[in-house]
Structure 1
Amino acid sequence: MTIKLWSGKPLSLKVIDTNAGTSMDGLDIAHVHFTQKSPDAPLKMRLLRAGEVAFDGALKKRVMRLIRTNKTSPEEISMINIQVGKLSPSNWLRLIKIRGMQLGEFAANAIQHFAEDHHFNLQEEVDIIAGQGQTIWHLPLPHLFEGNQIRAHLDMAEISIIAARTGITALSNFRVSDMALGRQGCPLFVAWDGLCATHPEKNVAVQNIGGIANITMLPKGDPRLGYDFDTGPGNVFIDGAIRYFTKGECQYDKDGLMGAAGKVDQEIVHEVLQQP
């Protein structure tokens, strides 16, 4: 592979990023602008716009059932990943009402509506779409499969659909690419945290609490030395409790208001903190 030398032109890249976390409360969308004067200069990012599109109820139930039961078919996988047939605008409304959009079509439609709602032109304001799909299955450590040790991952939200619907170059399968290089595929924070948070004289730890919590360790001075790993459940159990006690009316504890209204059980906290 030929490595292209820097042309001397400063970097200016506008990106739409999508992400569906393990909480499955919706699709996060961010429109960001990356700039860099030279390869040795700091990489800067400016957030232009951000938002969230809630998952359609029928689609969410179907995906969660697929994950929980671990039972499906090739037909169902392909249907969820893309979406059956080509849809006219009138059919979008009918589909939303009777069965829910499948992940690829859902993501593409969400990006288009995001641009409309924020009053910008995708073709003029976006260079690349980075589409991280919904994690369906993740095996970061080797599992014995037909006599071989296998690590595997499956994201769903067909990137070809997103590229075709928007007309913009789209990238995906970041976790599988990470695993192909010998890492675990999840988390993926180390590259970004390394660029943004490496300190010249201090070791830094960056803790993220999503559905699953993870930490990035950044040795001082060199962003290439960082590493990251999962540390255990984050808010996934809290989300489950909220859905259960509200009978599905709430999907998560927005702004932590329900938790803040209660009282801390210090005995349980102490017990948890004693764990290794």
Structure 2
Amino acid sequence: MDTWIGLMSGTSMDGIDAVLVSFQGTTVRTHGTHSISYPEDLRHRLMLASQNHATPDEIGELGTLTGLLFADAAESLIRQSDIAVSSIQAIGSHGQTLRHQPSGPGRFSLQIGNPAIIAEKTGITTVGDFRSRDMAAGGQGAPLVPAFHQHFFSSDTEDRCILNLGGIANITWIPSSPDSPVTGFDTGPANALMDAWCQDQTGRPYDDGGQWAQEGIVDQSLLTDMLSDAYFDRPAPKSTGKEKFNLEWVKTLVLRHKKTRPEDVQRTLLQLSVITAVRQMPQSPAMVIYVCGGGTRNPLLMKELSQALSPIRVVDTAKLGINPLWVEPTAFAWLARQTMERKPGNLAEVTGAKGPRILGAIYPA
């Protein structure tokens, strides 16, 4: 049995998720999962670097430190698994995004977490740098997970919208008709802004279960200001990140609403995540929404999402056979397999690339 490891750390920069999986047709079997948190000092340095507060020396050092942690996550996963190392074909590592600038003459997407270190420490072939080939072909380099969604989550009986509530929210629209294209894009912020505001105001890295937001009320005037950002009306293909939606973005808007309580800002940010996702979804009477990502652990966020979409059915991806917390790392295990088998990993209609491309750089064992 061939197995694959996927490593993922998202825009929330809270840690690394590792998954060991095998693939059979359109079925995924999960053999093990493991997560590690970033040490707080490293997380703080990553946050600063993502806002351009780091020298080249610091960015180089962060690339090594995160590479070592990605390797540690993979090794810990292997140790707790009953799968033979010889059966692991490759590791797919997304890396840690520091900056994502998909437009302009010097467009780029920067992920750190040196894949060479992962390959060296684990002794397993590692695939990294998934975004740059798509960008070289004129694409946004993101989102890349829709190709995985299409392969494993397609249906010929219902239109499906996969909503990932990570640091940034993105959707993949998978029509039941084979004649209709799959589309996908980043809708805007999800957990990243809520986490950043919670950390700044309370010292806690995130609002556990949305409890703090539940103490507040939506400030409609502040919400209107937030929704006026041009990104939300921009047509796809489009992608974004913390270089756009960050703490300074929130604070700049809050300055115009000085009477708004901190918990009201948190509640408004949660509503922003819901509204921007719902407004940008295609409409279909046969649609079912399947949700994944860390946002599924926020009961208030899920409740507001379900109410905003009613009567459309909202469930998580466990209904499709994959735990909602492990969809993204599983996708990068599959993308590594695509690379090793010399198959495309992007959807050009999603990223805007000139066509399908084999993604990633291979670091042999």
Alpha-carbon distance in 1 for matches of 2:179, 2:77: 33
RMSD after superposition:
2.6
Deviation of 1:175 (Å): 1.5
| Partner of residue 55, structure 2 | 72
| Partner of residue 29, structure 2 | 46
2:210 to 256, 259, 275: 256
| Partner of residue 61, structure 1 | 44
1:108 pairs with 2:71: yes
**What does residue range 1-276 of structure 1 map to in structure 2 within 5 Å?**
12-36=1-25, 43-73=26-56, 75-82=57-64, 102-116=65-79, 118-120=80-82, 123-141=85-103, 143=104, 149-222=105-178, 225-247=181-203, 250-260=204-214, 262-265=215-218, 267=220, 271=224
Q: Which stretch shifts more, 213-222 or 16-25?
A: 213-222
Q: Percent identity?
A: 29
Alpha-carbon distance in 1 for matches of 2:119, 2:142: 24
Q: TM-score, normalised by structure 2?
A: 0.57
Deviation of 1:115 (Å): 2.6
Confirm or deny: 8 A CA contact 2:7 2:94 kept in the other structure.
yes
User: What SS does the corresponding residue of 2:106 show, helix, strand or coil?
Assistant: strand
Structure with higher Rg: it is 1
User: What SS does the corresponding residue of 1:225 show, helix, strand or coil?
Assistant: coil
Q: In the superposition, relative to structure 1, how do residues 136 and 224 fare at CA in structure 2: closer, same or farther (>3 Å)?
A: farther
User: What SS does the corresponding residue of 2:206 show, helix, strand or coil?
Assistant: coil
Stretches of structure 1 that go unaligned for 5 or more consecutive residues are: 1-11, 37-42, 83-101, 144-148
Please identify which structure carries the higher helix content. 2
Alpha-carbon distance in 1 for matches of 2:225, 2:161: 21
Stretches of structure 2 that go unaligned for 5 or more consecutive residues are: 234-365
Q: Deviations over 1:175-219 (max 9, x none)?
A: 123323432112112101111232325443222111111111223
Q: In the superposition, relative to structure 1, how do residues 266 and 223 fare at CA in structure 2: closer, same or farther (>3 Å)?
A: farther
Alpha-carbon distance in 1 for matches of 2:157, 2:81: 43
Please identify which structure carries the higher strand content. 1
User: What SS does the corresponding residue of 1:230 show, helix, strand or coil?
Assistant: strand
Q: In the superposition, relative to structure 1, how do residues 121 and 218 fare at CA in structure 2: closer, same or farther (>3 Å)?
A: closer
Alpha-carbon distance in 1 for matches of 2:152, 2:179: 9
Confirm or deny: 8 A CA contact 1:18 1:29 kept in the other structure.
yes
